[in-house]
Amino acid sequence: MADSHSSRLFFFSFSVSNQVELLNVINYPGRPLAVAYSADANTLSVATKDIINEHDFSNPATIVHQYEVDSSDSLIVGLQVSKTLLSFTTLNKNIYIYERNQYKINYLLAKVEDIAGTLFVLSHEKNFIFSFAANTAQSSYVAQPFLQISNLAADKVVQVTAKSTSQVCSLTLNLKSIPNNDDIVNKKPLDGQNFKIDQITGLEIQLDDYFGGSNLEYSIPQQVS
């Protein structure tokens, strides 16, 4: 539990007989706003108004990762972690969703604004997030975007465009079609833009290697496959 007024973290144990025992109290540098424990990684994530620190639970002085937060929307009121995702809600009724181990604010996986009256819960195992409103419940799948290439019979030059609310960026990819077992297939080119793709097996190109941001809208003018 986080006590933001006295800048302390409280650790309790719970038994099946509903007994609660105070295990430890830690003075935390900064103002802790919310905490979340990950049993899979044995880490404790602590949100402050400046950053989210992920600590090694067996050695709380060790910070494993730090997630950036939006300085204009940093009053965090809720924090959740799963095997694959980290999310937090703010006093302004917005929810931010990160993929675990992606720490930069410009690599934010998704952001949902004005969530007043809706409860969001992360799925522990998969990249699903569940939302519960007054009369509805639904699940959404969140993941990094990718471009699927299949049955590439000829070389092509493809332009991918990503659009946010304020900016448009474009990327040109050079796709070289390689007959099966006829040449080395280049799945991760050093220059980032020239791919050798097997005609049969195809390829998935991870777009988050090129674009950063949340709620991006992607478009491709021509058919690729």
The mean of the pLDDT values for the chain is 84
Residue 79's pLDDT band (cuts 50, 70, 90): very high
Q: Same domain, yes or no, for 91 and 160?
A: no
Tokens of 182: 């006829």
Q: Which residue has the higher pLDDT, 53 or 203?
A: 53
Q: Which residue has the higher pLDDT, 192 or 56?
A: 56
Q: Same domain, yes or no, for 177 and 190?
A: yes
Q: Same domain, yes or no, for 133 and 150?
A: no
Q: Same domain, yes or no, for 25 and 136?
A: yes
Give tens-digit pLDDT for 142-192: 777 778 887 788 888 888 888 887 788 888 888 888 876 556 666 666 566
Q: Same domain, yes or no, for 104 and 155?
A: no
pLDDT of residue 67: 94
Average pLDDT over residues 89-112: 87
Q: Same domain, yes or no, for 116 and 70?
A: yes
Is 225 part of any domain?
no
Q: Same domain, yes or no, for 112 and 81?
A: yes
Domain count, the chain: 2
Q: How far apart are CA 9 and CA 139, in angstroms?
A: 32
Residue 225's pLDDT band (cuts 50, 70, 90): very low
pLDDT of residue 63: 94
In this structure, what CATH number is given to the domain that contains residue 47? Answer: 2.130.10.10
Is 167 part of any domain?
yes
Choosing from 106, 141, 176, the residue where a domain stops is: 141
Q: Which residue has the higher pLDDT, 50 or 190?
A: 50
Is 224 part of any domain?
no
Side-chain half-sphere of 50: how many Cα atoms within 13 Å? 3
Residue 109's pLDDT band (cuts 50, 70, 90): confident
Average pLDDT over residues 40-56: 93
Q: Which domain holds residue 65?
A: 2-141
- The whole-model pTM stands at 0.68
Residue 106's pLDDT band (cuts 50, 70, 90): confident
Q: Render the chain in DSSP notation, one character per residue.
A: -EETTTTEEEEEEE-TT--EEEEEEEE-SS---EEEEETTTTEEEEE-SSEEEEEETTEEEEEEEEEE--TTS--EEEEEE-SSEEEEEETTS-EEEEETT---GGG--EEE---TT-EEEE-SSSSEEEEE-SS-EEEEE----EEEE----S-EEEEEEEE-SS-EEEEEEEEEEE-TTSS--BSS-TTSSEEEEETTT-EEEEGGGT---SS-EEE-SS---
